[in-house]
């Protein structure tokens, strides 16, 4: 049963986010005519005999999911599989999985027949608290992350925390990383609320998760409704991502997205400290009480050359230097486009040195 609904306004089409406390919505979708389901293979194997048991195998595409398949070749394979069902233009595509599933199926939905009806059911915390709204679809092209994409929102999003029970700890805390980012961006009070909720989040308390997830989406909603096509205010949501995406690329995606974003926020804060935008007290407070507390991966020794190269390829670059979104004193956001690579090198060298000393 849907216990709450959040309406997201879009220039393309408004859409609804439903917060569910049982799986009846899945049974209802399974009876909808002219519907095809694309489900992450891992999600299907974990839940096919429980919450997904009402989905008929004759309307199902099971998709192996990993970062390497987030490309146009996979999209073309899905076109072929969908067309094998001889679908009509009034087809509804229901995709169930995390952010990679969302990116691929959202791109398919945006381009097949120039746009078909699409419903998304995020099964990871990362997708539930962040990517499920905002209308972006993103594909990788060669070594360029998220270079190709469209703006195309689903008509419905359904948030169901039951799926989170089967996530690996690192994947779960990948979502916690984005949750932390959004709370920090919304100010000191929200940062404290997040800190106060950490124990319940760690214990997978569904009431707390639904409450914090809804709040994350409300925060993101305020950015995307003001700047849906990412030409101004929405850029600030890349806090932690400028370094984070580069860390993902340089480690061949060995570190999950949200955990890379946590590392990215740590590094962005160090740059902000060096540029006198953030006080030492604030930098240490955020590190000790939030960022270090939710970092569950082994911190690597960064390949500085690879990170710099990845940052140079970032599509957010518009100036002569590197782009970086930072947090300032007073929890204000700022973006610079002239960051000197030499300063990044110094911060990464210091980070590596401190990391080696901790080993």
Q: What is the CATH number of the domain that holds 12?
A: 3.40.50.1970
Using alpha carbons only, give the angle 128, 90, 150 rounded to the nearest 5 degrees.
45
Give the C-alpha separation, 244 to 302, whole Å.
12
Which residues are bridge partners to 197 per DSSP?
none
Long-range contacts formed by 230-236: CB under 8 A, 24+ apart? 230/136, 235/316, 235/325, 235/335, 236/185, 236/325, 236/333, 236/335
Verify that 70 and 105 share a domain, yes or no.
yes
pLDDT at 320: 74
Verify that 179 and 120 share a domain, yes or no.
no
pLDDT digit string, tens, across residues 83-92:
999 888 899 9
Structure tokens at 324: 């970086």
Residues of the chain below pLDDT 50: none
* Of the residues 130, 149, 166, the one at which a domain ends: 166
Verify that 42 and 62 share a domain, yes or no.
yes
Give the C-alpha separation, 40 to 221, whole Å.
26
Verify that 192 and 157 share a domain, yes or no.
no
Give the C-alpha separation, 228 to 239, whole Å.
17
Verify that 162 and 185 share a domain, yes or no.
no
pLDDT at 146: 87
pLDDT at 88: 85
Verify that 136 and 205 share a domain, yes or no.
no
Half-sphere exposure of 247 (CA within 13 A, CB side): 26
Is the sign of the CA dihedral 70, 74, 78, 79 positive or negative? positive
pLDDT at 65: 97
Verify that 196 and 60 share a domain, yes or no.
no
Check: CB of residue 270 under 8 Å from CB of residue 339.
no
pLDDT at 145: 81
pLDDT at 2: 63
Total domains in the chain come to 2
CATH number at residue 225: 1.20.1090.10
pLDDT at 134: 95
Q: Domain limits at 329?
A: 169-358
| Helix (H), strand (E) at residue 314 | none
pLDDT at 108: 98
Verify that 141 and 193 share a domain, yes or no.
no
pLDDT at 245: 92
């Amino acid at each position: 049963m849907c216990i709450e609904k959040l309406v997201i306004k879009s220039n393309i089409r408004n859409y609804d986010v439903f917060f569910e406390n049982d799986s009846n919505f899945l049974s209802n979708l399974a009876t909808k005519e002219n519907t095809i389901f694309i489900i992450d293979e891992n999600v299907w194997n974990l839940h096919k005999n429980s919450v997904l048991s009402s989905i008929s195998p004759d309307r199902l595409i099971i998709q192996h999911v990993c970062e390497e398949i987030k490309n146009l070749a996979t999209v073309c394979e899905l076109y072929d599989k969908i067309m094998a069902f001889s679908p009509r233009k009034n087809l509804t595509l229901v995709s169930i999985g995390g952010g990679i599933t969302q990116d691929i199926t959202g791109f398919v939905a945006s381009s097949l027949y120039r746009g078909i009806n699409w419903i998304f059911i995020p099964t990871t915390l990362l997708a539930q608290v962040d990517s499920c709204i905002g209308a972006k679809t993103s594909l990788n092209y060669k070594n360029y992350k998220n270079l190709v994409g469209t703006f195309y929102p689903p008509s419905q999003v359904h948030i169901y925390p039951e799926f989170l029970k089967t996530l690996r700890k690192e994947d779960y805390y990948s979502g916690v990383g984005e949750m932390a980012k959004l709370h920090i961006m919304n100010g000191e009070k929200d940062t404290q609320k997040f800190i106060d909720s950490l124990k319940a989040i760690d214990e997978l308390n569904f009431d707390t998760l639904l409450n914090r997830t809804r709040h994350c989406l409300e925060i993101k909603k305020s950015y995307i409704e003001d700047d849906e096509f990412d030409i101004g205010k929405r850029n600030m949501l890349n806090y932690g991502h400028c370094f984070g995406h580069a860390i993902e690329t340089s480690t061949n995606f060995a570190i999950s997205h949200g955990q890379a974003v946590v590392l990215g926020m740590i590094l962005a804060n160090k740059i902000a400290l060096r540029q006198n935008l953030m006080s030492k007290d604030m930098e240490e407070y955020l590190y000790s009480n939030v960022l270090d507390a939710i970092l569950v991966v082994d911190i690597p020794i960064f390949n500085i050359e690879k990170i710099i190269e990845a940052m140079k390829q970032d599509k957010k670059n518009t100036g002569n230097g590197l782009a970086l979104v930072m947090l300032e004193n007073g929890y204000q956001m700022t973006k610079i486009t002239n960051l000197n690579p030499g300063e990044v090198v110094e911060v990464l060298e210091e980070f590596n040195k401190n990391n080696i000393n901790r080993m």
